[in-house]
A and B are shown apart, each in its own frame.
Chain A
Amino acid sequence: MTKYTEDDLREELKTKEYEYGFYTDMESDTFPIGLDEDVVRAISLKKEEPQWMTDWRLEAFRAWKDMIEPEWANVKYVKPDFQSISYYSAPNTKPKYDSLDEVDPELLETFKKLGISLDEQKALAGVAMDVVIDSVSVATTFKKTLNEKGIIFCSISEAIREHPELVRKYIGTVVPQKDNFYAALNSAVFSDGSFCYIPKGVRCPMELSTYFRINQANTGQFERTLVIADEGSYVSYLEGCTAPSRDENQLHAAVVELIAMDDAEIKYSTVQNWFPGNAEGKGGVYNFVTKRGLCEKNAKISWTQVETGSAITWKYPSCILKGDNSVGEFYSIAVTNNHQQADTGTKMIHLGKNTKSTIISKGISAGKSQNSYRGLVQVSSRADNARNFSQCDSLLMGNDCGAHTFPYIEVKNKSAIIEHEATTSKIGEDQIFYCNQRGIDTEKAIALIVNGFSKEVLNKLPMEFAVEAQKLLEISLEGSVG
């Protein structure tokens, strides 16, 4: 990776508009707007799915029709009209390519703007890419190395075709079709996403990485991700998102399911940078995501997220600590600026004995934004010696933003030890002046203070992501003080 210098940052700070606000003009195969059973069937047909998958989708759709969009989150928005969205859009550039030379140059240009050219990624040690652009995977690398270890890493559509027994066994086991409004919608219409299976005892030798993009106007993107770590295996999965500028709100309702079997470990890291809307609060992505992991005996799942984008973020990566001695972790940085709203946190469900969970949440609010942490720690009656440590810190910039903390604790076992700490601080003029006096200008001072505030979480990210994340934090808060 090229070294990121302060000059680069300075250059970026000058760019007021959303950095990735461009639109690639590629011919697309897009469904007309609207959603009914025929559309669900058509999506399934388009993806050449087996009958059981079609039925599964239809079951989800029927449940969804009777569900009501949830309103409990601390966010305000105009509800999307689900009948005015097109539920399928695929780049026309099929079939898949054997080498980059065959790839649509415009697509390559898109990658370049995103700073993730495949060439660079290939050279980047240990990162395999499965790039999702507008719902269909168009490029996969590093497959060979993974094959040798028996690791399956492919698009979910491919997995449905090539490994139906695995998908059928696990899909919907952690996030059932009827789990919630958005999960049900996703189950009915998901167009693509990633699938990953790590066999018993295998340590995945590289960070697995997928970049998602929303590219087609008015196309909601509904990814479905399923990661299965078999007994004693390990995998680190990176997910990063950017989206081009749009005036209309774009809906994004993903579902991620993680399954960590006995003694397995999954590390799932996200950098989310969907278009947040402009400074007046116009446009921006609605990000309603359901992420959940299941831990069997001695298993461990870590969620790490850096959320800087989206007009609205509604997201609670959770762990079901089913097996004894299992461990769940949640490390989060959520930045809101201008008119962004975030309601994010986690659920740690302690079912097994000696289960442990850690929650570190860092919320940074600027502008007129609202940033809420919402978390549930639940200890069941069987979960002897469960332990949880939660720390929720909020940093405010300016006087028009808000930070809120909603911790829910439900304990049904007396042996549980639950700790919760929360702080709220403000970037003070004194801190800024102190930095100024040492020769550090205000923009840089804010970056320094914010990075310091977020350090515990940034440290949890894989190296290549940490740099990107740090950069994003700085860009997201540009111009928010002074």
Chain B
Amino acid sequence: MLKINNLHASVEDKAILRGINLEVKAGEVHAIMGPNGSGKSTLASVIAGKEEYEVTEGEILLENVNIDEMAPEERAHKGIFLSFQYPVEIPGVSVTNFMKTAINETRKANGLPDMPANEMLKLIREKSEMLEIDRKFLSRSLNEGFSGGEKKRNEIFQMAMLEPKLAILDETDSGLDIDALRIVANGVNKLRSRDNAVIVITHYQRLLDHIVPDFVHVLFEGRIVKSGGKELAHELEEKGYDWIKEEVNA
């Protein structure tokens, strides 16, 4: 699904990613953990194609196609979805209208006609029920006045609507209380299939109790310095990141 080879990226000439290698296969869940400033969110942004990041070396392949030159919307059309750590507000644009636009733009890019209104409504009903979202919520302006938890739940709702091949959840657990965390995690789990993959970026182990990863990677100073199974997350929870730093520096 996704293959990252020796990826170096910088912002304003400051190198942030310094040689990432990662392979994510269909059906897998990968967790990326690491201390603040290790490059986790940068990695997510670079995969999604944010322009202010410059890829200086290496490549990103999605289903064996190099996506380096693709605009962010083209990557989205190919099935990359990023759940933002800080979702932005768009006043006056309802969640429903935004989703309708996003879905139809993606369909158009893939040579499909607009989704008929009844199908759209059905999809909205189905996905909002799955994520226990009150439908009144969907006529509110996108993220405007949303609580932290509502914003994150809305991100996962969008993911459910768009059904991406590769979903990257950037600190989706931050700002969520236990109930919201459970609902969001359940949503993600229901969306998992043999054909898609998820990258979970998180600081803490607690989300991984609900979305159980197949692999855990530790990012430190722009490199993946350790990889393992889900037990690695427990180890990090217990021992913190200092021992990783020591290992790296040793």
Report B226 CB to chain A, min CB distance, Å. 29
**Nearest CB of chain A from residue B85's CB, rounded to whole Å:** 11
The verdict on A431 contacting B88 (CB below 8 Å), with A437-B48, A438-B102 known, is yes
Contact of B50 among A433, A440, A448, A456 (CB under 8 A): A433
B72 at the interface (CB under 8 A from A): yes
Distance A374 CA – B193 CA, assembled complex (angstroms): 58
User: Are B105 and A444 in contact, with the CB atoms below 8 A?
Assistant: yes
Residues A441 and B90 in contact, CB atoms below 8 Å apart: no
Q: Does A89 lie at the interface of the complex (its beta carbon under 8 Å from any beta carbon of B)?
A: no
Interface: A453 (CB within 8 A): yes
Q: Which residue of A lies closest to B76 (CB)?
A: A439
Proximity string of chain A (395-437) to chain B, C-beta cutoff 8 Å, 1 when within and 0 when not: 0000000000000000000000000000000001111011111
In the complex with contacts A436-B71, A438-B162, A431-B105 CB distance below 8 A:
no
Chain B CB within 8 A of A218 CB: no
Q: Please report the C-alpha to C-alpha distance between residue A441 and residue B73 in the assembled complex, in whole angstroms.
A: 6
Smallest Cβ-Cβ distance to B80: which chain A residue = A437
Tell me if B73 and A439 are in contact (CB < 8 A).
yes
Docked Cα-Cα span, A452 to B105, in Å, equals 18
Contact A452 B93 (CB under 8 A): yes
- What mask results when residues 41 to 61 of chain B are scored 1 for a CB within 8 Å of chain A, else 0? 000000011111000000000
Partner among A433, A451, A452 whose Cβ is within 8 Å of the Cβ of B72: A433
Residue A116, interface by CB 8 Å = no
A438 to B52, CA, bound (A): 18
**CB-based contact A437/B91 at 8 Å:** no
A460 CA / B88 CA spacing, docked (Å):
27
Contacts of B51 in A (CB 8 A): 433
Taking CB atoms, residues of chain A closer than 8 Å to B81 are 437
Interface of B: prevailing SS: helix
Annotate B85-105 by CB proximity to A: 1 below 8 A, 0 otherwise. Answer: 001101111000110011111
User: With an 8 A cutoff between CB atoms, is A6 at the interface?
Assistant: yes
Q: In the complex, what distance in Å separates the CA atom of A442 from the CA atom of B49?
A: 14
Instruction: Determine the distance from Cα of A433 to Cα of B87 in the docked complex, in whole angstroms.
Output: 11
Contact present for A441 and B105 (CB under 8 Å): yes
Cβ distance B101 to chain A, nearest Cβ, rounded Å: 6
Tell me the B2-29 residues at the A interface (CB within 8 Å).
none
Which residues from A are CB-within-8-Å of B97?
A: 448
* Cβ–Cβ contact B84 & A448, under 8 A: no
A449 sits at the interface (CB 8 A): yes
Contact digits for B132-157, partner A, Cβ 8 Å, 1 yes 0 no: 00000000010000000000000000
Query: Is residue B158 within 8 Å, beta carbon to beta carbon, of the partner chain?
Result: yes
Residues A437 and B88 in contact, CB atoms below 8 Å apart? no
Contact B93 A438 (CB under 8 A): no
Q: How many chain B residues touch the partner (CB < 8 A)?
A: 33
Interface check A346, CB cutoff 8 A = no
- Residue pair A455, B92 in contact (C-beta under 8 Å): yes
Contact of B102 among A439, A449, A454, A456 (CB under 8 A): A439
Residues of B within 8 A of A455 (CB): 92
Residues of the B chain whose Cβ atoms lie less than 8 Å from the Cβ of A453: 91-92
- Chain A CB count within 10 A is highest, among B51, B141, B162, for B51
A448 to B77, CA, bound (A): 18
Cα–Cα distance between A454 and B50 once the two chains are bound (Å): 27
Q: Which residues of A contact B90 (CB under 8 A)?
A: 431, 434-435, 448-449, 452
* Residues of A close to B158: CB separation below 8 A: 438
Provide the bound-state CA to CA distance between A440 and B102, in Å. Answer: 6
CB-based contact A434/B71 at 8 Å:
no
Q: Which of A430, A436, A437, A449 contacts B93 (CB 8 A)?
A: A449
Q: Give Cα A439 to B103, complex, Å.
A: 8
Q: Do the beta carbons of B93 and A440 come within 8 Å of each other?
A: no
Contact with B along A122-164 (1 / 0, CB 8 A): 0000000000000000000000000000000000000000000
Inter-chain CA distance A420–B52, complex, in Å, is 38
Say whether B206 faces chain A, with CB atoms less than 8 Å apart.
no
Contact of B248 with A by CB under 8 A: no
How distant is the Cα of A446 from the Cα of B87 in the complex, in angstroms? 17
- A455 and B144 alpha carbons, distance in the complex (Å): 15
Q: Type the 1/0 row for A445-473, where 1 means its CB is closer than 8 Å to any CB of B.
A: 00011011111100000000000000000
Q: Output the least CB separation between B102 and chain A (Å).
A: 4
Interchain CA distance A444-B97 in the complex, whole Å: 13
Smallest CB separation, B41 vs chain A (Å)? 13
Query: What's the Cα separation between A434 and B49 when bound, in Å?
Result: 11
Q: Does B109 contact A (CB under 8 A)?
A: yes
What distance in Å separates the Cβ of B125 from its nearest Cβ neighbour in chain A?
20
Q: Closest CB of chain A to B138's CB: distance in Å?
A: 15
Task: Name the one of B49, B71, B92, B98 contacting A438, with C-beta atoms under 8 angstroms.
Answer: B98
Q: Is B185 an interface residue (CB 8 A)?
A: no
Q: CB distance A434 to B84 under 8 Å?
A: yes
Q: Compute how far the CA of A453 lies from the CA of B77 in the bound complex, rounded to whole angstroms.
A: 26
Contacts of B106 in A (CB 8 A): 439
Q: Which of A429, A433, A444, A455 has the most CB of B within 10 A?
A: A433
A selection of 6 A-B contacts at a CB cut-off of 8 Å is A433-B51, A433-B72, A437-B72, A438-B102, A438-B158, A448-B98
Known: A428-B88, A437-B73. 18 other contacts (CB 8 A): A433-B50, A434-B84, A436-B49, A437-B76, A437-B82, A439-B77, A439-B103, A439-B106, A440-B101, A442-B73, A444-B105, A448-B90, A451-B92, A451-B93, A452-B92, A452-B93, A455-B92, A456-B92
The 3 A-B pairs of least Cβ separation, nearest first, read A452-B92, A452-B93, A436-B72
> Which residues in A have some Cβ–Cβ distance to B below 8 Å?
6, 428-431, 433-442, 444, 448-449, 451-456
Chain B interface residues toward A at CB < 8 A? 48-52, 71-73, 75-77, 81-82, 84, 87-88, 90-93, 97-98, 101-106, 108-109, 141, 158, 162
